[in-house]
C-alpha cells in the first residue's frame, strides 16, 4: 500500500490572525552590509537592529501582527514565492542608484500592496536635491540659489555669490559634508567638486551659503491632514566640526550637537515653509524638512527627508517628537493611521490579497 504523500506547504499569503492587520517590515540593516564589505560611511543611512526592534515591538504593542522582511532582495524572493501582507512598513533606503529609495515602493506598487511613507515617484525625485529645489523654487517656496554640477567643467560657469556650500546631490545623513563643504574662495570650488564627483559617482549641488539658524521640522500626515509637530533648532557644541551639520556631527550627535524646541517667530515661519514644501512635494505619513535662515532671518528650504530615521533616541524625528511630548508609540501609531487611511481610500490596495 502506497503511503500518502506528506502535505507540502505551498507558498502564498502570510498567515493572518483573526481581525488583525499583518504588517511586513522592509529595511536595510547596517550590519548586513558591513558584513558584505561596505564601509561605515557607505552604510551610514542604514538602520541599526535596535531601530527595527523598536518599530517591530511598537507595532505589536499597537495590535498588529508583524513580519520582518528585510532588504529588497529578500522582498523580491518572498513576493515571487507568493508571500503577501496587508501593508508594509517601509524604511529601506536602498544601496544603488539615484532611485534607490523608490525601488521597494515601486515593487510593492506592482503587486498592489500598500505601504507606509511616500510613493515611488516622490522618493525618486526628492532624493535628488536639485530636482526638489527646482520644483519648490518654481512654486515660490524660498530656497537658496543653486547650481547642479554634473561635470567638473560646469564649475567655470558658476556665478553665485560667495560663500558657497557644496555637497553630493543624492546622499543623506550628512554624507559628503565636512568643514570643507563651505567654500569661501573661488579657487576651492573646482577641486572640491572634482573630489565629490569622483567619490560619490553622482552630481554635486552648489548652493549659496545661508549663514543663519538651522532647523529641522517634523511633519506627520498627508496632504491637508499634514501638520508640523515641532520645530527643532540644531546647535553645534564647541567640539563639533564648526559651521556645518556634517556627517561626523550627525554620526556622533549625542556628544556634538544640542537640539532645542524653537517657538519664536523665525522658527514658526520655518514650520510654515516646511509644511508648504511637504504638501507641494506630495510627501506622505511622516518625515522631516530641513531649513536654514539667510542673513535676514528668513528660513529657506534645504532638503526633505520623506524616509526619516526612526531610532527612538538617535534620530531627529523621534527626538523632536519626544521633546514636543509625543511618545515613540504615538509617533508609530500616527504613521500607521495615516498610511491605513490612504490604503482604505485606494480601491486597488487589496489586489494582491484577492489573487
Rg (CA), the chain: 22
Residue 7 has pLDDT above 70, yes or no: no
Question: Does 225 share its domain with 331?
Answer: yes
> Which CATH number covers residue 270?
3.30.470.20
175 pLDDT exceeds 90? no
The answer to whether residue 343 scores a pLDDT higher than 90 is: yes
Residues 253 and 274 in one domain: yes
State the CATH number of the domain containing residue 165: 3.30.1490.20
pLDDT of residue 43: 86
Distance between CA atoms of 7 and 179, rounded to whole angstroms? 63
What span, in angstroms and rounded, lies between the C-alpha atoms of 234 and 319?
12
pLDDT at residue number 39: 87
Average pLDDT, the chain: 91
Nearest to 117 by CA among 291, 318, 305, 274: 305
For residue 212, the SS3 value is coil
Q: Report the C-alpha gap between 293 and 278 in whole angstroms.
A: 18
297 φ/ψ angles, rounded to the nearest 5 degrees: 80, 20
Give CA–CA dist 251/313, Å, rounded: 13
The whole-number pLDDT of residue 347 equals: 65
Span 211-270, pLDDT tens digits? 999 999 999 999 999 999 999 999 999 888 888 888 888 778 889 989 999 999 999 999
> What pLDDT digit, counting tens, does each position of 195-204 carry?
999 999 999 9
pLDDT attached to residue 22: 96
Q: pLDDT confidence of 346, banded at 50, 70, 90?
A: confident
Residues 6 or more apart in contact with residue 11 via CB below 8 angstroms = 81, 82, 83
Print burial letters for 60-77: b (CB count within 10 Å at least 16), e (below 16): eebebbbbbbbbbeebee
In this predicted model, what pLDDT tens digit does every residue of 148-159 receive, in sequence order? 999 999 999 999
Average pLDDT over residues 287-311: 97
The yes-or-no verdict on residue 130 having pLDDT over 60 is yes
Averaged pLDDT, 101-115: 97
Q: What is the CATH number of the domain that holds 37?
A: 3.40.50.20
What is the C-alpha to C-alpha distance for residues 90 and 218, in angstroms, rounded to an integer?
18
Contact 127, 170 (CB under 8 A): yes
Domain with 180, as residue range(s), is: 145-208
Domain assignment present for 10: no
Number of domains present in the structure of the chain? 3
Q: Which own/partner contact pairs does 46-50 have at CB distance under 8 Å and 24+ positions apart?
A: 46/93, 47/91, 47/309, 47/310, 47/311, 48/311, 48/314, 50/311, 50/312
Question: Residue range 303-322: average pLDDT?
Answer: 94
**Gap between the terminal Cα atoms of the chain:** 38
Query: Do 153 and 266 sit in the same domain of this protein?
Result: no
Amino acid at each position: 500500500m502506497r503511503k500518502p504523500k506528506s502535505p507540502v506547504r505551498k507558498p502564498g499569503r502570510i498567515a493572518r490572525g483573526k481581525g488583525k492587520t499583518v504588517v511586513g517590515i522592509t529595511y536595510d540593516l547596517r550590519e548586513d552590509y558591513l558584513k558584505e564589505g561596505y564601509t561605515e560611511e557607505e552604510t551610514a543611512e542604514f538602520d541599526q537592529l535596535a531601530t527595527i526592534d523598536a518599530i517591530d515591538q511598537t507595532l505589536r504593542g499597537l495590535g498588529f501582527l508583524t513580519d520582518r522582511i528585510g532588504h529588497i532582495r529578500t522582498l523580491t524572493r518572498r513576493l515571487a514565492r507568493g508571500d503577501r501582507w496587508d501593508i508594509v512598513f517601509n524604511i529601506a533606503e536602498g544601496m544603488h542608484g539615484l532611485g534607490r529609495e523608490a525601488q521597494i515602493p515601486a515593487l510593492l506598487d506592482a503587486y498592489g500592496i500598500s505601504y507606509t511613507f511616500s510613493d515611488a515617484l516622490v522618493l525618486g525625485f526628492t532624493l535628488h536635491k536639485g530636482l526638489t529645489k527646482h520644483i519648490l523654487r518654481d512654486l515660490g517656496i524660498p530656497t537658496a540659489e543653486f547650481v547642479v554640477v554634473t561635470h567638473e567643467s560646469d564649475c567655470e560657469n558658476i556665478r553665485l555669490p560667495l560663500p558657497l556650500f557644496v555637497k553630493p546631490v543624492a546622499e543623506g545623513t550628512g554624507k559628503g559634508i565636512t568643514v570643507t563643504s563651505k567654500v569661501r574662495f573661488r579657487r576651492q570650488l573646482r577641486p572640491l567638486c572634482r573630489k565629490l564627483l569622483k567619490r560619490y559617482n553622482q552630481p554635486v549641488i552648489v548652493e549659496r551659503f545661508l549663514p543663519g539658524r538651522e532647523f529641522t521640522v517634523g511633519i506627520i500626515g498627508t496632504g491637508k491632514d499634514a501638520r508640523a509637530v515641532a520645530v527643532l533648532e540644531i546647535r553645534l557644541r564647541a567640539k563639533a566640526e564648526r559651521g556645518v551639520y556634517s556627517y561626523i556631527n550627525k554620526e556622533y550627535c549625542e556628544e556634538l550637537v544640542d537640539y532645542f524646541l524653537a517657538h519664536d517667530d523665525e522658527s514658526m515661519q520655518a514650520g510654515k515653509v516646511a509644511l508648504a514644501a511637504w504638501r507641494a512635494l506630495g510627501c506622505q505619513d511622516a518625515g522631516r524638512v530641513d531649513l536654514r535662515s539667510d542673513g535676514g532671518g528668513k528660513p529657506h528650504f534645504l532638503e526633505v527627508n520623506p524616509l526619516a530615521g526612526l531610532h527612538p533616541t538617535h534620530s531627529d524625528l523621534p527626538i523632536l517628537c519626544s521633546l514636543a511630548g509625543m511618545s515613540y508609540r504615538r509617533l508609530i501609531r500616527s504613521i500607521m493611521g495615516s498610511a491605513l487611511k490612504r490604503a482604505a481610500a485606494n480601491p486597488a490596495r487589496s489586489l494582491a490579497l484577492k489573487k
